[in-house]
Structure 1
Amino acid sequence: MLQSELEECLIRCITDYQANIYRLAYSYVRNTEDALDIVQESIHRALVSAESLKNPDAIKNWFFRIVVNLSLDFLRKHKRIRIVDDETLESYSSGTADVYPDLDLKRALEELPMKYRSIVILRYFEDMKIEEVAEVLQENVNTIKTRLYQALRILRIQLNDDSSEEVQ
C-alpha cells in the first residue's frame, strides 16, 4: 500500500473512532487536557510510523495500541502525589458519606489494577473482541480471557460488598 493511501486510511480510522480514542485515553489519565495531549501525540506517532504497519486491515487495533502505550507511559512519567495541608483536607471532607449507586461501578473500576482495568475498558466500553484486546495489549488471548474473568470476579465482589454495606 502506498504511503499516501495508508495515511488516508489512518485519517479515516481516526475520524471514525475519534470519540472512542479520546474516551480510551481519558479512561487512563482521568484528565481532559492530558487525554487530548495523548490523542494528539498518538496521531503524530501514527502518521510518522505509518510505514511500519504490516497489515493495513489492523489499523484500528494498531492505533488503539499506540493510545494505550502512550497513556501508560504518561501515567508512569506523571505519578502524581499531592501533599495537602490539614485545612484543605478538612474543606474537602463533609463529615458524611454521600451514597451514589451510579458511581459504584466507576469507583470499583478505578480500584482495579491497571492490567485488569485495561481489559475491561477495551472489552466492554470500546466493544472490542477478545482477540482485538489481546492484539492491542500485546498479550496472549488466553491471558486476556483469564484476566477478564478475574477482573469481573473482583468487580462482582466489590460491588456486592458495597451494596451489603449500604443495606446495613
Structure 2
Amino acid sequence: MMEPLEDKFITFIRTQQQALYRLAYSYTKNEQDALDVLQDSIQKGWLALERLTKHEQMKSWFYTILVRTAIDFLRKHKRFELIGDDVLLQLCEQDTYDNFDLQQALYHLPLQLREVVVLRYFEDLKLEDVAHILAIPLSTAKSRLYKALKLLKIELEMEEN
C-alpha cells in the first residue's frame, strides 16, 4: 500500500528538520528568524503539496521553497545577503564532519562556489537540484563545483606543506 503524499511530507520534514534549519539559518543568521522561515516554508509546502508531481523530488522541491522563502524574508526585512561569508563556515561547523582544514578551505572560497559545494556535498543534493535551487543553469553549477573543488584541493595541499 502506497503511503499518502501528506504522510511522506510530514516524514520528510521530521527526518530533515536539522538540515532544513541549518539552511534557513545560513540565510537569516538568527535562530528565531530561521525558525520563522522554516515554519513559513513548511506551510507553503503543505499548501502546494498537490502541485508536487514527482514525489521522489520532494527534497529539492522543498529546498527551493525554503531558499525562496528565506530570500523573501530578508527582502522584507531589508537584510538581504545571500549565504554570507562567515555563515557557511558556521553551517559546515555544525555539520557532521570534524575536518578543520576543510572548514578553513571552504571559508576561503568565494560565496558562489561555497554555496554549490555546501548544497551538493553537505546537504547531499544532486547537481541538477543545486542548479534548480540556486536558479542557475546546470552548466554553471557544474563549472562552479569544478572550480571550487580545484581551489579546495590547492588550499588543502598548501595546508599539508
**In 1: Cα distance, 2:61 partner to 2:108 partner:** 25
**2:49 matches 1:56:** no
The alignment partner of 1:17 has SS state of: helix
Give the TM-score normalised by the residue count of structure 2: 0.68
Using a 3 Å threshold, how does the CA distance of structure 1 residues 40 and 148 change in structure 2: closer, same or farther?
A: same
Using a 3 Å threshold, how does the CA distance of structure 1 residues 72 and 5 change in structure 2: closer, same or farther?
A: same
**2:134 matches 1:137:** yes
8 Å Cα contact 2:109-2:148 kept in structure 1: no
Give the count of matched residue pairs: 141
8 Å Cα contact 2:60-2:125 kept in structure 1: no
**In 1: Cα distance, 2:108 partner to 2:24 partner:** 14
Query: Given the alignment, which residue of 105, 108, 133 partners 2:103?
Result: 105
Q: Which has the larger radius of gyration?
A: 1
8 Å Cα contact 2:105-2:152 kept in structure 1: no
> Offset of 1:75 from its aligned partner?
3.0
Give the TM-score normalised by the residue count of structure 1: 0.66
* 2:11 matched residue in structure 1: 12
Unaligned runs of 5+ in 1: 81-101, 164-168
* 1:72 matched residue in structure 2: 71
8 Å Cα contact 1:108-1:159 kept in structure 2: no
**In 2: Cα distance, 1:135 partner to 1:7 partner:** 23
**In 1: Cα distance, 2:105 partner to 2:155 partner:** 10
> Offset of 1:158 from its aligned partner?
7.5
* 1:21 matched residue in structure 2: 20
**In 2: Cα distance, 1:126 partner to 1:65 partner:** 13
Unaligned runs of 5+ in 2: 81-99
* 2:39 matched residue in structure 1: 40
